[in-house]
Chain A
Amino acid sequence: MSNAADADRVSELARQVVTDHDPKAVPIPEFLGACFDAGLSWVHFPEGLGGLGVSRGLQSVADSILQGAGGPVPLALNPMGYGMAAPTVREHAQTDEVKRRLLRPLATTEDIWCQLFSEPGAGSDLAGLATSAVPDGEDWVINGQKVWTSLAHRARWGLLLARTNPDQPKHKGLTYFVLDMHAAGVETRPLRQLTGHAEFNEVYMTDARIPDAYRLGEVGGGWRVAMTTLMNERSALGASGSRRGAGTIADAVSLWASRPDLQTPVLRDRLTQLWLRAEAQRLTSERSRATATVGGPGPEGSIGKLVGAELNQHIYQFCMDFLGPEGILYHSYALREDDREDTDWRGPLQQRFLRSRANTIEGGTSDVMRNILGERVLGLPGDLRADAGMPWKEIPRG
């Protein structure tokens, strides 16, 4: 079928959904459930799994109708679910039955998801992680600690990367699972960050059990599965609004316009440079969407992640420098678990400024992003690796 015919079908289905389930009147899970059943949650997925098997470029056709009628932005409600879990489950779960069972409540946002990758000893070198998974009958028994897990306190499911074979080199001994966050032996604790808030968690797993049916991909094939997740995370993190001037730069431009008394020519040029960088990145995202095929996000998504992270920091640094002494007051360092249900969970400007320090660390540091651009896009040779080919258990750690 031609792309134009597919686009017509997608719009027709989306209009039907908003007619039958007015997003302004029905509860969010009902509306998003109707989207899933109509194949509009992620149009490039197969039919029956929340998709229609058409080009992923057509998602914007569905979203503009669904969200135009007042529907929610699902990625904001279940970011790990929509951004990472859905593509990973779809591609790697063992049976269609498991895929369906996990994907529909994910799509409706009744099941929130989190990602259990990073550990205190494994950040950029994620493949060096130490959490163990040992087979026991039909189950796997999990022991270890994960960190920087956002939404773990609200999550029903976690995407877990664990070591099933410590005798193999690090990338080869990993297996990917879906962990029931309500299972016995799973404990979630808030992790206080430099803003004073706790938007992330630490997750401790002590003899927690996972049925083998909730393994994604092959035993020992976890790294390849994790790449699906990470590529989607980076493109999700880097994706910005398609309207000119939207996103973080809007904060700075609004602030600028609200305070003529603080404006100077030097600051005006600095803000213009930031605005231009944001605009160039917005156009680059548009261009990469325009040329995207049915395939998933590629390493080019790393450009968006890299630029978006550094731009966020520079924009909030600009806001602080613009405000001068007014900027160095704060609202409160009282510990508060972030549930993202406030009117604007990002808090006042100063909190956004402090929070932006994480942007160039989370989801792949900017240093790693530049390695990815250099090696996977430009084809430059990799750096020397001291642990190449070494069994994981012999690699020095600390």
Chain B
Amino acid sequence: MAEFTFTDEQTQLRSAVRKFCTENFDEQTVRALMESDPPFDAKVWHRLGSELGVLGLSVPEADGGAGGSLVDQAVAVEELGASLACGPVFGTVFLAIPALVAASAGPVRDELLAELVEGRRTAAFAASATTVALTGDRLSGTVEAMVDAGAADHLLVAAEGPDWVGLFAVDATGPGVERTPLATIDLTRPQATVRFDEAPARLVAGPTDAERVISHALHVGSALLAAEQVGAAQHLLDLAVQYAKGRLQFGRPIGSFQAVKHRLADMLVDLEHARSTAYHAVWALTDGSDDPALAASIAQATCSAAFSRVARDTIQVLGGIGFTWEHQAHLYFKRATADAALLGTAEHHRDRVAALVLDTAVAERAPRIATG
């Protein structure tokens, strides 16, 4: 479909995921899950994969997926983000599955992909090869603060061989793997430091395609993370608007005051911009209509800033209640803070955009400058 045009099936998909989230990720459930160990419900995760089929929407049917497009996956992710659905969305859906899709078919890749798409197993992903080294077929080294690693079954890890980089799968519960859970700002998205000590590793992508596979995963991950940021920011804007309509001070709804109204209008503008850049990146990765690296960085630079701003301003509109533990606003504010850092900060992505756009710009038709 043409960019920004959603099919009826995608609209139905959105409703189905929203309904599933209402039933399974209501605020009370999310609060209970985020303080559990592991911090998600494995049975519900399995249902997301097998019953709803939304973990591998853009995975080819031959690989056990739905055979749809990344647009489908983004629509589902937006709804999961709106409810802060607990589970390894980041490690498994944003990064591991796209990496495996991009990797060449083979027994290891095929087996992992089928398990992850079905929701029977979960995975975490580490893209930086600098701290883990390969010796023979074993990995040694440390990955700090790996998202979703604590409860994952598989760890996909980039590692350096003698003169090449590869992507490997390690059994998280196997020998030579030590995981230390970390306390995180965002309780709904856990991290763990993982120490590998001659852990047996299976090759997923070798020297000829590891770099391509990893950068594809990061581009898709950036686009899907942007979709999550949009979904969560929309949820907050709806919440803030509803509150501003109902909360009375000085005998009037606070939303009738221009100071509050204009803040909400600015939040709307940022959200609409975020939605446009997120789905542009998703479409660019679907139909090749734009440079994926540029589109992904435009989306991350815009959506990280937008979600953070909407989260901050939602708390401001809510006033005192927004600062309490009891109100859900802080859960989203913390998600916004984490999301803005996970795949590169807005500043990091702006620097990439500058390298691609400004550093290469040529002076054509510069405006005349008056000289007095």
Chain A residues engaging chain B, CB cutoff 8 angstroms? 245, 250-251, 253-259, 268-269, 271-273, 275-277, 279-281, 283-284, 286-287, 290-291, 300, 303, 306-307, 319, 323, 326-327, 329-331, 344, 346-352, 367, 369-371, 373-375, 377-384
Chain A minimum-CB-distance residue to B262: A370
List 19 additional A-B contacts (Cβ < 8 Å) besides A256-B358, A378-B264: A253-B357, A254-B361, A254-B366, A255-B363, A257-B363, A269-B350, A272-B351, A275-B357, A280-B277, A280-B302, A327-B369, A348-B368, A351-B370, A369-B265, A370-B258, A370-B265, A373-B269, A380-B256, A381-B252
Q: Does B272 contact A (CB under 8 A)?
A: yes
Q: Provide a sorted-by-A list of 29 A–B residue pairs whose CB atoms are within 8 angstroms.
A: A254-B361, A255-B366, A255-B367, A257-B363, A269-B350, A271-B354, A271-B358, A272-B358, A273-B350, A281-B273, A283-B277, A286-B4, A303-B268, A306-B269, A327-B369, A329-B371, A330-B370, A330-B372, A346-B367, A349-B368, A352-B367, A371-B265, A373-B265, A374-B262, A377-B268, A378-B264, A380-B244, A381-B253, A381-B256
Determine if B265 and A287 form an interchain contact, defined as CB atoms under 8 angstroms apart: no
Determine if B353 and A290 form an interchain contact, defined as CB atoms under 8 angstroms apart: no
**Residues of B with C-beta under 8 A to A256:** 358, 361
Q: Does B261 contact A (CB under 8 A)?
A: yes
Interface residue from A280, A349, A370, A377 paired with B367 (Cβ < 8 Å):
A349
Cα(A256)–Cα(B358), bound, Å: 8
Determine if A290 and B264 form an interchain contact, defined as CB atoms under 8 angstroms apart: no
Nearest CB of chain A from residue B134's CB, rounded to whole Å: 37
**Residues of A with C-beta under 8 A to B280:** 283
**Residues of A with C-beta under 8 A to B351:** 269, 272
Contact with A along B49-62 (1 / 0, CB 8 A): 00000000000000
Cα(A344)–Cα(B369), bound, Å: 13
Cα(A327)–Cα(B262), bound, Å: 33
Q: Does B43 contact A (CB under 8 A)?
A: no
Given the contacts A290-B4, A290-B5, A380-B241, A275 and B258 also touching, CB distance less than 8 Å: no
Given the contacts A348-B369, A349-B369, A258 and B269 also touching, CB distance less than 8 Å: no
Determine if A378 and B298 form an interchain contact, defined as CB atoms under 8 angstroms apart: no
**Residues of A with C-beta under 8 A to B3:** 286-287, 290
**Residues of A with C-beta under 8 A to B361:** 253-254, 256-257
Q: Does B279 contact A (CB under 8 A)?
A: yes
Nearest CB of chain A from residue B311's CB, rounded to whole Å: 17
The A/B interface has a contact count, at CB < 8 Å, of 166
Determine if B273 and A275 form an interchain contact, defined as CB atoms under 8 angstroms apart: no
Nearest CB of chain A from residue B14's CB, rounded to whole Å: 15
**By the criterion of a CB under 8 Å from any partner CB, how many residues of chain B are at the interface?**
50
Which 7 pairs between the two chains have the least Cβ-Cβ distance? A258-B363, A280-B273, A329-B372, A374-B261, A283-B276, A380-B255, A331-B370
**Residues of A with C-beta under 8 A to B264:** 374, 378, 380
Q: Does B293 contact A (CB under 8 A)?
A: no
Cα(A348)–Cα(B367), bound, Å: 6
Chain B residues engaging chain A, CB cutoff 8 angstroms? 2-5, 241, 244-245, 252-253, 255-258, 261-262, 264-266, 268-269, 272-277, 279-280, 298, 301-302, 347, 350-351, 353-354, 357-358, 361-372
Interface residue from A280, A331, A384 paired with B276 (Cβ < 8 Å):
A280
Determine if B367 and A254 form an interchain contact, defined as CB atoms under 8 angstroms apart: yes
Nearest CB of chain A from residue B229's CB, rounded to whole Å: 13
Nearest CB of chain A from residue B71's CB, rounded to whole Å: 13
Interface residue from A255, A306, A329, A375 paired with B370 (Cβ < 8 Å):
A329
Cα(A373)–Cα(B269), bound, Å: 9
Nearest CB of chain A from residue B187's CB, rounded to whole Å: 30
Interface residue from B256, B257, B273, B364 paired with A277 (Cβ < 8 Å):
B273
Determine if B362 and A326 form an interchain contact, defined as CB atoms under 8 angstroms apart: no
**Residues of B with C-beta under 8 A to A370:** 258, 261-262, 265-266
Determine if A287 and B354 form an interchain contact, defined as CB atoms under 8 angstroms apart: no
Interface residue from A254, A287, A383 paired with B279 (Cβ < 8 Å):
A287
Interface residue from B257, B347, B366 paired with A383 (Cβ < 8 Å):
B257
Cα(A192)–Cα(B371), bound, Å: 23
Interface centre among A284, A326, A369, A377 (most CB of B within 10 A): A284
**Residues of B with C-beta under 8 A to A251:** 366-367
Given the contacts A286-B4, A348-B367, A379 and B353 also touching, CB distance less than 8 Å: no
Interface residue from A250, A327, A351, A373 paired with B365 (Cβ < 8 Å):
A250
Nearest CB of chain A from residue B232's CB, rounded to whole Å: 18
**Residues of A with C-beta under 8 A to B347:** 269
Determine if B255 and A287 form an interchain contact, defined as CB atoms under 8 angstroms apart: no
Interface residue from B256, B279, B370 paired with A348 (Cβ < 8 Å):
B370
Nearest CB of chain B from residue A168's CB, rounded to whole Å: 25
Nearest CB of chain A from residue B150's CB, rounded to whole Å: 35
Cα(A273)–Cα(B304), bound, Å: 13
Given the contacts A253-B358, A272-B350, A273-B350, A287 and B275 also touching, CB distance less than 8 Å: yes
Determine if B269 and A323 form an interchain contact, defined as CB atoms under 8 angstroms apart: no
Determine if A323 and B256 form an interchain contact, defined as CB atoms under 8 angstroms apart: no
Nearest CB of chain B from residue A259's CB, rounded to whole Å: 8
**Residues of A with C-beta under 8 A to B4:** 286-287, 290-291
Nearest CB of chain A from residue B153's CB, rounded to whole Å: 38
Chain A minimum-CB-distance residue to B362: A257
